[in-house]
Every structure is written in structure tokens, then in C-alpha cells.
């Protein structure tokens, strides 16, 4: 989990960091699948995940009283990785 403060948003930092995590998971750890759980209203994070090749797998809602909704995006590792 990470946070990019407002002053540093829209400079590509989150995309660069997420790409490095994805590449490390695939190349160093040998993972075949990486999951991003993103709050449904967080359009910026959805854009980052999509830009890196993740696809929406399903939507989930936390039980009450929390009730927050989040989307689960999946990065499939391998030869077709962006």
C-alpha cells in the first residue's frame, strides 16, 4: 500500500512504483499473478492498474458497518506483460 500526496500526483510516480513492484513480483519472485485491490471510487489508482495491464476481475463490498466497496484488478504475469 502506498499514498502519493497531492503535490506529487500526476507525475507518474505511482505508475513507476507499481511497475517496479509488478516486475519484481514476476522476475524475482516468480509470481504468475498479482492482485490490486482498489477502492471503487479511486479513479486514479484504477487508471494506474489499467495502464500496467491489469484487468477487473470482480467487485467486492465489505460487510456493514464498513460497507466500503473495492474492485479487484489482476495482473497476469508472463510474456505478454507490458
Residue 48 lies inside a defined structural domain of this protein: yes
Q: What is the pLDDT of residue 24?
A: 94
Residue 81 lies inside a defined structural domain of this protein: no
What's the CATH code of the domain at 62? 3.40.630.30
Treating both helix axes as pointing N-terminal to C-terminal, what angle do 13-27 and 43-51 enclose, rounded to 10 degrees? 50
Residue 82 lies inside a defined structural domain of this protein: no
**Number of structural domains, the chain?**
1
Residue 11 lies inside a defined structural domain of this protein: yes
pLDDT digits (tens, 9 = 90+) for 13-68: 999 999 999 999 999 999 999 999 998 889 999 999 999 999 999 998 888 888 88
Q: What is the pLDDT of residue 49?
A: 92
Evaluate if residue 80 carries a pLDDT over 60: no
Residue 17 lies inside a defined structural domain of this protein: yes
Per-residue three-class SS string for the chain: CCCCCHHHCCCCHHHHHHHHHHHHHHHCCCCCEEEEEEECCCHHHHHHHHHCCCEEEEEEECCCCCCCEEEEEEEECCCCCC
Q: What range defines the domain where residue 64 resides?
A: 6-76
Question: Between 64 and 71, whose confidence is greater?
Answer: 71
Amino acid at each position: 500500500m502506498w499514498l502519493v500526496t497531492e503535490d506529487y500526483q500526476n507525475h507518474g510516480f505511482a505508475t513507476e512504483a507499481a511497475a517496479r513492484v509488478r516486475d519484481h513480483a514476476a522476475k524475482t519472485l516468480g509470481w504468475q499473478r498479482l492482485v490490486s485491490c482498489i477502492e471503487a471510487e479511486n479513479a486514479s489508482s484504477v487508471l494506474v492498474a489499467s495502464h500496467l495491464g491489469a484487468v477487473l476481475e470482480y467487485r467486492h463490498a465489505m460487510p456493514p458497518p464498513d460497507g466500503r466497496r473495492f474492485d479487484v484488478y489482476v495482473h497476469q504475469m508472463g510474456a505478454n506483460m507490458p
